[in-house]
Amino acid sequence: MDISTELNGRIEYIVIPAIQKLLTDAEFEQLTIESEGSRLDRFVASIQACGETLSVIVSDSYMHESMDEARDRFFEDLRDEISETEFGWGQLRDGSSN
């Protein structure tokens, strides 16, 4: 499996569901996946929402986690990032209302 196929699978399984559960259509603006490191061993999701940028790790070769663990971690990390924004300050969203 090449790196782009694996990354696309991670985006579809980990990133998209968390965005759909935690952000409303009105809040979500853009998703960009960026690589950190010369060996493409770390990917970060940069999510634009309400004019703010949220950065959350999608995968890191040093994190030994299953896809389910990565999905749960990403959801929790994005939820924490939202609670620190101006538009979501102090909210601990559970994803059930979006």
SS3 assignment, position 5: helix
Identify the domain containing residue 50 by its residue range. 3-83
Angle among Cα 72, 65, 62 to the nearest 5 degrees reads 120
Name the phi and psi angles at 54, rounded to 5: -110, 130
User: How, if at all, do strands 52-60 and 28-36 pair?
Assistant: unpaired
Report yes or no on 89 lying in a domain: no
Position 31 confidence tier, pLDDT thresholds 50, 70, 90? very high
Report yes or no on 29 lying in a domain: yes
Nearest to 76 by CA among 8, 21, 35, 28: 21
What is the count of structural domains for the chain? 1
The pLDDT value given to residue 92: 79
pLDDT in tens, 56-87: 988 877 778 888 999 999 999 999 999 999 99
Position 2 confidence tier, pLDDT thresholds 50, 70, 90? low
Q: What is the mean pLDDT of residues 13-40?
A: 90
- Predicted TM-score (pTM) of the model is 0.86
Token pair 């994005």 in the structure block, residue? 78
pLDDT in tens, 32-49: 998 876 666 788 999 999
The pLDDT value given to residue 74: 94
Report yes or no on 97 lying in a domain: no
Neighbours of 69 (CB within 10 A): 12
